């Protein structure tokens, strides 16, 4: 069960990090903590694996950390203290790579004038330029497919700079002196091989798979390019013939991860193992995860990974840093025991999230996360058995099943039963379960899952981790601004399989961080405050004083992402989330009825139209009781439903189908000529057939009256129909399709023109808004709004027209097109603008904004997930994001909700 924490199954490996007996001291000093020593802003991309030629933008040594900081700037910090040693610029060139070794900074630059790439070296203490070398890179595989190199093109070590170039076929390795840039050695690598490489501080490792199915691991001296040693590795299970580009996807995956001190993890197909700097195999990946026994010695190698804990997935496939595992919460630095070959990890006071290990040196590690790079220093001490837990005793972790009770769950159903899970943390038995699924007595009630994500060594550390985690959530997921408080955040988590989202709430109180999950968002909204208040009482903390958002009248959470704007009529708000349709009281937000039936399409004339995989359901708007159903084309989705003039017309399977709206009786259908962008007006149904044809059909019979070219949806207005064809807007006679006028607009239309009063507004694909006289087609004015998002609209109030442009909203004079004001909103408008009662509303990717309609001055904003806005009913503007619907009041005081 997804909500029942699939992560529990993912983390069932027995990774024994220290003596797994009890929280009792061990013998001899061992690594016990990674302590943050300094932090600095760092916006450069961290993971070199996903950059061209695997070139990093960070370089680290025991003396200095260098980083790209802006297009042409490099900053150098003291590795121990973080003090800024110097900043220098590469004028006229873009910084594409940064390395540090033995007091030397090496920078790869690309000329902004097209003069190619240069490798430049600078002295760390003085900043003096030492040398430069022109470099040329080629693609990963030559045209014949004879050989492949998929490693870094530049490897900087203390003994030399090694370049992997294709000066001629095949691959050439070139060594340069670190301090002078002079050529030390050059060698041509063997053909007919797949090759990857990696570098430590004093060595270069090569892994190749060559003709004859031979696999070899080799260490190369960076100064001489001579082999220091080679090791033959197990071959893949069947032979491969080289070269054969057509079978490239079937070749075994080759990969290397090299620590700063020369230890290496090797992957060849299904084979994965760790080797020492002298080539000795220390352990397979499976052995590194499951080996038993106490810690021997007090040293680990420099960290190789950062992220979730090393784990063995439930399908038996070992992974080093599990991207799927979301428990426990902190990120871990993972190293290797050089004696036993076992992986070991220690937590950091930060959530795993998006983090990259950008450098290591001796007992230092540099981690980039959340726009900063942080330096961590390793400390040693006596083994207590608490190292994996950040110094916290295991019995300090609360019982997850004790955080809620059956009485707490009565709001959902009577008879909930707890099912404990995760009784251990990676081989360490925990005295109390840290995950618990509350199982309902029947299938119509939701499962409620509780997970103790972490218990920090102090309240302050937990607050930092909670703040970082909630910041990460807000940046990447839809969250609930209505229920957010200093201890709680309700949000939608994206399921790793890409199949949807799962509602969760993260709660941080005292040293404890807990996650609550359920498929039911209404249940989550009720129970998350209950769990929060129990933790507050346990730790002697007061309940937070509610700070209501003054704009929000009420909010309602649905059990799935809202796909369309709410529909409001006769005092009822209709929304759908997932496959459930809700009818809410417009005054209070309380549900009047709910049906698990499909996706809400329309509410017209007291009837609710719902689509369910090709079936059209029609419900009574007041009661939700079914009135009729149509399901003749169950294999095709129902799209573009339009209800007007007693008809319900929609597209399905490339056909237009017309039903009697009162009875559901089919009146007519078209052939499979394509169908989209339906409109009903004046006894005609306009349907976009194929790629560039619009047809006018008789609403009673479906007979074609006429057809014309149209690249965009039509706008029907009585006796005239407006269409877009190529780079022109055309007005057609609604009765016969004859052209009344045609006007050029410069670029094609992405959406239907909008008729407002006597003006026709058309936004072309270049983002220019054209105002045309609807009667003659004569151009009144144009405005270069920019942007091409057809999801945004124009709206007119009085003598002002409002439209969205990149990053904000513009107000134009309707007569002249002159701009009256322009207000930036910090990001692009994704819905609106909508004007009502002197206020202009617009939704960006993180907020709903209210602007003064006359001046553009911001009145207020409500921070949300990515919102859509509309309609305005009863003086309220209805907004929704991925999970909530809420009406907002225009009367809130300026500045409220900031």
Q: How confident is the model at residue 1 (pLDDT cuts 50, 70, 90)?
A: very low
Could you tell me if residue 463 is left (phi over 0), alpha (psi between -120 and 50 degrees) or otherwise beta? alpha
Q: Rounded mean pLDDT of 131-144?
A: 66
DSSP three-state, residue 364: strand
Q: Which residues pair with 504 in a beta bridge?
A: 491, 517
> pLDDT per residue over 140-150, tens digit each?
444 334 467 88
Helix (H) or strand (E) holding 491: strand 488-494
Q: How confident is the model at residue 327 (pLDDT cuts 50, 70, 90)?
A: confident
What is the C-alpha separation between 563 and 576, in angstroms, rounded?
8
CATH 3.40.1000 fits 394-538, yes or no: yes
> pLDDT per residue over 534-590, tens digit each?
999 999 999 988 777 778 888 888 876 666 778 999 999 998 877 889 999 998 889
Cβ partners under 8 Å of residue 314, min gap 6: 9, 10, 12
Q: What is the DSSP letter of 498?
A: S
Distance of CA 62 to the CA centre of its chain: 34
What is the C-alpha separation between 66 and 167, in angstroms, rounded?
30
Q: Rounded mean pLDDT of 499-519?
A: 87
23 or 82, which is more confident? 82
What is the C-alpha separation between 288 and 117, in angstroms, rounded?
42
338 or 140, which is more confident? 338
Whether pLDDT at 437 is above 60: yes
Please report the pLDDT score of residue 501 as a whole number.
63
What is the C-alpha separation between 794 and 809, in angstroms, rounded?
10
**Residue 450 near residue 401, CB atoms below 8 Å:** yes
DSSP 752-805: --EEETTEEEEEBTTSEEEEEETTT--EEEEEE-----TTS-EEEETTEEEEEE
Whether pLDDT at 514 is above 90: yes
Q: How confident is the model at residue 282 (pLDDT cuts 50, 70, 90)?
A: very high
Residue ranges of the domains in the chain?
Answer: 1-49+277-387, 394-538, 632-709
Whether pLDDT at 503 is above 90: no
Please report the pLDDT score of residue 668 as a whole number.
94
Q: How confident is the model at residue 65 (pLDDT cuts 50, 70, 90)?
A: very high
Q: Rounded mean pLDDT of 53-72?
A: 91
Q: How confident is the model at residue 680 (pLDDT cuts 50, 70, 90)?
A: very high
**Residue 64 near residue 333, CB atoms below 8 Å:** no
DSSP three-state, residue 735: coil
Q: How confident is the model at residue 295 (pLDDT cuts 50, 70, 90)?
A: very low
- Give first-to-last CA distance, the chain, whole Å: 39
Q: Exposed/middle/buried for 532, CB within 10 Å: 0-12, 13-18, 19+?
A: buried
Please report the pLDDT score of residue 300 as a whole number.
84
User: Which residue pairs from 472-479 have beta carbons closer than 8 angstroms and sit at least 24 positions apart in sequence?
Assistant: 472/351, 472/353, 472/354, 472/370, 473/506, 474/846, 477/501, 477/865, 478/561, 478/864, 478/865, 478/866, 478/881, 478/882, 478/883, 479/864, 479/865
User: How many other CB atoms sit within 10 Å of the CB of residue 624?
Assistant: 17
Please report the pLDDT score of residue 894 as a whole number.
39
502 or 644, which is more confident? 644
666 or 712, which is more confident? 666
> pLDDT per residue over 718-775, tens digit each?
899 998 888 889 999 999 999 999 998 877 776 788 899 999 998 888 888 999 999 9
Which CATH class, in words, describes the domain spanning 632-709?
mainly beta
Candidates 648, 657, 641; CA nearest to 605 is 648
Please report the pLDDT score of residue 20 as a whole number.
37
Q: How confident is the model at residue 827 (pLDDT cuts 50, 70, 90)?
A: confident
What is the C-alpha separation between 363 and 859, in angstroms, rounded?
53
Cβ partners under 8 Å of residue 113, min gap 6: 92
Phi, psi of 534 (to 5 degrees): -65, -40
Q: What is the DSSP letter of 389?
A: G
Q: Rounded mean pLDDT of 644-652?
A: 93
What is the C-alpha separation between 15 and 31, in angstroms, rounded?
16
Mean pLDDT score of the chain, rounded to an integer?
84
**Residue 208 near residue 170, CB atoms below 8 Å:** no
**Residue 740 near residue 727, CB atoms below 8 Å:** no
Whether pLDDT at 712 is above 80: no
**Residue 787 near residue 804, CB atoms below 8 Å:** yes
Whether pLDDT at 246 is above 60: no
> Nearest 5 degrees, angle CA 823-CA 825-CA 826?
130
**Residue 530 near residue 566, CB atoms below 8 Å:** no
Q: How confident is the model at residue 877 (pLDDT cuts 50, 70, 90)?
A: confident
Could you tell me if residue 339 is left (phi over 0), alpha (psi between -120 and 50 degrees) or otherwise beta? alpha
Q: How confident is the model at residue 343 (pLDDT cuts 50, 70, 90)?
A: confident
| Segment among 44-48, 55-59, 203-207 with least mean pLDDT | 44-48
Q: Rounded mean pLDDT of 671-681?
A: 88
Please report the pLDDT score of residue 896 as a whole number.
40
Q: Rounded mean pLDDT of 457-484?
A: 87
DSSP three-state, residue 106: strand
Helix (H) or strand (E) holding 356: strand 355-361
Please report the pLDDT score of residue 48 as a whole number.
64
Candidates 551, 482, 554; CA nearest to 861 is 551
Q: How confident is the model at residue 607 (pLDDT cuts 50, 70, 90)?
A: very high
Phi, psi of 381 (to 5 degrees): -170, -170
Q: Rounded mean pLDDT of 421-428?
A: 72
Q: Which residues pair with 489 in a beta bridge?
A: 506
**Residue 851 near residue 823, CB atoms below 8 Å:** yes
**What are the C-alpha distances in Å from 75 to residues 64, 81, 107, 201, 269?**
10, 14, 11, 21, 39
Phi, psi of 613 (to 5 degrees): 45, 60
**What are the C-alpha distances in Å from 646 to residues 40, 662, 794?**
66, 7, 29
Q: Could you give the count of Cα atoms lying within 13 Å of 850 in the half-sphere of its Cβ? A: 27
**Residue 753 near residue 760, CB atoms below 8 Å:** yes
What is the C-alpha separation between 315 and 9, in angstroms, rounded?
9
């Amino acid at each position: 069960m997804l909500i029942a924490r699939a992560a529990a199954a993912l983390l069932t490996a027995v990774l024994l990090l220290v003596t797994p007996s009890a929280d009792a001291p061990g013998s001899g000093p061992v690594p016990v903590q990674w302590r943050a020593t300094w932090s600095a802003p760092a916006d450069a991309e961290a993971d070199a694996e996903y950059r061209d030629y695997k070139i990093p933008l960070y370089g680290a040594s025991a003396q200095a950390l260098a980083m790209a900081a802006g297009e042409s700037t490099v900053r150098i910090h003291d590795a121990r203290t973080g003090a800024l040693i110097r900043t220098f610029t590469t004028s006229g060139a873009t910084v594409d790579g940064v390395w540090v070794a033995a007091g030397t900074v090496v920078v790869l630059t690309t000329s902004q004038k097209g003069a190619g790439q240069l490798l430049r070296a600078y002295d760390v203490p003085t900043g003096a330029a030492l040398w430069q070398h022109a470099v040329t890179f080629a693609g990963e595989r030559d045209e014949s497919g004879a050989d492949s190199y998929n490693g870094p093109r530049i490897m900087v070590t203390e003994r030399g700079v090694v370049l992997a170039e294709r000066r001629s076929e095949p691959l050439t390795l070139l060594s340069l002196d670190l301090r002078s840039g002079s050529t030390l050695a050059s060698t041509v690598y063997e053909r007919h091989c797949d090759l990857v490489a990696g570098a430590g501080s004093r060595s270069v490792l090569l892994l190749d798979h060559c003709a004859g199915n031979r696999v070899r691991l080799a260490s190369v001296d960076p100064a001489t390019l001579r082999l220091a040693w080679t090791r033959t590795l197990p071959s893949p299970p069947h032979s491969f013939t080289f070269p054969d580009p057509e079978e490239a996807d079937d070749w075994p995956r080759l990969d290397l991860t090299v620590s700063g001190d020369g230890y290496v993890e090797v992957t060849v197909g299904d084979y994965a193992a760790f080797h020492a700097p002298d080539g000795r195999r220390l352990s397979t990946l499976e052995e590194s995860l499951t080996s038993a026994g106490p810690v021997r010695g007090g040293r680990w190698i420099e960290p190789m990974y950062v992220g979730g804990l090393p784990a063995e997935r439930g399908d038996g496939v070992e992974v080093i840093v599990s991207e799927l595992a979301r428990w426990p919460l902190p990120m871990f630095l993972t190293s290797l025991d050089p004696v036993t070959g076992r992986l070991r990890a220690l937590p950091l006071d930060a959530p795993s999230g998006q983090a990259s290990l950008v450098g290591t040196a001796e007992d230092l590690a540099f981690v980039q996360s959340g726009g900063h790079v942080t330096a961590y220093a390793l400390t040693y001490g006596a083994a207590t058995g608490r190292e994996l837990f950040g110094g916290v005793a295991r019995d300090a972790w609360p019982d997850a099943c004790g955080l809620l009770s059956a009485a707490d769950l009565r709001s959902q159903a009577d008879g909930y039963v707890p099912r404990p899970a995760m009784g251990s943390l990676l081989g360490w038995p925990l005295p109390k379960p840290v995950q618990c699924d509350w199982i309902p007595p029947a299938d119509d009630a939701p499962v409620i899952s509780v997970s103790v994500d972490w218990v920090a060594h102090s309240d302050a550390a937990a607050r930092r981790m909670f703040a970082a985690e909630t910041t990460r959530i807000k940046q990447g997921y839809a969250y609930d601004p209505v229920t957010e408080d200093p201890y709680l955040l309700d949000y939608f988590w994206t399921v790793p399989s890409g199949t949807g989202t799962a509602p969760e709430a993260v709660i941080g109180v005292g040293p404890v961080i807990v996650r609550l999950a359920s498929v039911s968002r209404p249940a989550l909204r009720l129970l998350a405050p209950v769990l929060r208040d129990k933790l507050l009482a346990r730790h002697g903390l007061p309940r937070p004083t509610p700070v209501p958002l003054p704009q929000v009248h009420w909010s309602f959470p649905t059990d799935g992402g809202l796909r369309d704007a709410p529909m409001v009529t006769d005092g009822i708000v209709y929304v759908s989330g997932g496959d459930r349709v809700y009818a809410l009281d417009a005054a209070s937000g309380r549900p009047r009825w709910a049906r698990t039936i499909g996706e809400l399409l329309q509410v017209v004339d007291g009837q609710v139209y719902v689509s369910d995989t090709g079936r059209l359901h029609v419900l009574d708007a007041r009661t939700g009781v079914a009135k009729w159903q149509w399901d003749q084309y169950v294999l095709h989705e129902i799209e573009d439903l339009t209800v007007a003039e007693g008809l319900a017309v929609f597209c399905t399977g490339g056909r237009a189908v017309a039903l009697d709206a009162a009875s559901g009786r089919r009146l007519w259908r078209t052939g499979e000529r394509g169908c989209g962008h339906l409109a009903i007006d004046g006894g005609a149904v306009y349907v976009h057939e194929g790629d560039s044809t619009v047809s006018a059909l008789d609403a009673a019979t479906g007979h074609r009256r006429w057809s014309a070219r149209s690249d965009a949806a039509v706008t029907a207005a009585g006796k005239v129909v407006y269409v877009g064809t190529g780079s022109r807007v055309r007005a057609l006679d609604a009765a016969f399709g004859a052209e009344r006028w045609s006007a050029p607009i410069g670029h094609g239309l992405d959406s239907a023109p909008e008729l407002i009063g006597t003006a026709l507004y058309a936004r072309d694909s270049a983002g220019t808004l054209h105002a045309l006289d609807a009667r003659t087609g004569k151009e009144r004015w144009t405005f270069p709004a920019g942007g091409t998002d057809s999801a945004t609209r124009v709206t007119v109030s009085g003598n002002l027209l409002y439209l969205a442009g990149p990053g904000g909203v513009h107000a134009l004079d309707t007569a002249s097109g002159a701009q009256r004001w322009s207000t930036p909103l910090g990001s692009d408008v994704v819905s609106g603008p909508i004007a009502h009662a002197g206020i202009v509303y617009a939704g960006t990717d993180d907020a709903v904004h209210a602007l003064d309609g006359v001046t553009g001055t911001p009145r207020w904003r409500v921070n949300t997930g990515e919102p859509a806005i509309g309609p305005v009913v009863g003086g309220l503007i209805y907004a929704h994001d991925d999970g909530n619907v809420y009406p907002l009041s225009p009367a809130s005081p300026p500045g409220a909700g900031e």
